[in-house]
Amino acid sequence: INVSDLTFEKATEIKNKFDANGLKIFSLGSPIGKINADESFDTHFEKFKHTLEIANILEASNIRVFSFYIPKGAKADDFKNEVIERLGKICEVAKINKVDICHENEKGIYGDTPERCLDIFKAIPELRGVFDPANFVQCGENVISAWNKLKGYIKYLHIKDSKTDGTIVPAGVGDACIAEILRAY
């Protein structure tokens, strides 16, 4: 089950098991922001607020989000203001709850290029980043250049590798410059 769909009871059960084993949860890998940028945001925002409550139960200090899929045939820049408004609203509520929101770059969302990720980070200073080098490879971006542009905003890394043809491969086997990114991080 996706973490955003957990009941409060199940989250409490998970938290108790983690506590019993001396483990902490750093970040929730939510699906928030994985809807089209032109879809209604109200229901999705309610799902986010539920996910935030789950983060509080689990004592996770971070929630990973995305910056909304761009509808087929549309231009990403046409959705810049909508994306920033939605992510800003998410960050505003999270800040009250002392949880950091971390945006991950992914193919097909507004923030799938380093430049558009920068747009978001500059517009929402409290937003942090999850750097996924494989997703930049899949978008045809230079991973090292992307890192150099975004490194000041990155809170953590998604260790995933990809070949330029889009094939996901074990970390260090593809074209995502995993070793170089880890050294730089």
d(CA 146, CA 131): 9
The predicted model gives 137-145 an average pLDDT of 97
Average pLDDT over the chain, rounded to an integer: 97
Q: Which pLDDT band holds residue 166 (cuts at 50, 70, 90)?
A: very high
Predicted TM-score (pTM) of this structure: 0.95
pLDDT for 125 equals: 96
* 3-state SS record for 23-85: CCCCEEECCCCCCECCCCCHHHHHHHHHHHHHHHHHCCCEEEECCCECCCCCCHHHHHHHHHH
pLDDT for 181 equals: 97
Q: What is the dihedral of CA 21, 25, 29, 30, to 10 degrees?
A: 110
pLDDT for 79 equals: 98
The predicted model gives 97-113 an average pLDDT of 97
pLDDT for 23 equals: 98
Backbone angles phi, psi at 62, to 5 degrees: -140, 150
pLDDT for 171 equals: 97
The predicted model gives 142-167 an average pLDDT of 97
pLDDT for 178 equals: 97
The predicted model gives 36-40 an average pLDDT of 97
Q: For the sheet with 27-29, list strands across it.
A: 27-29, 62-65, 100-104, 128-131, 154-157
The predicted model gives 143-162 an average pLDDT of 98
pLDDT for 61 equals: 98
**Residue 128 host element (H or E):** strand 128-131
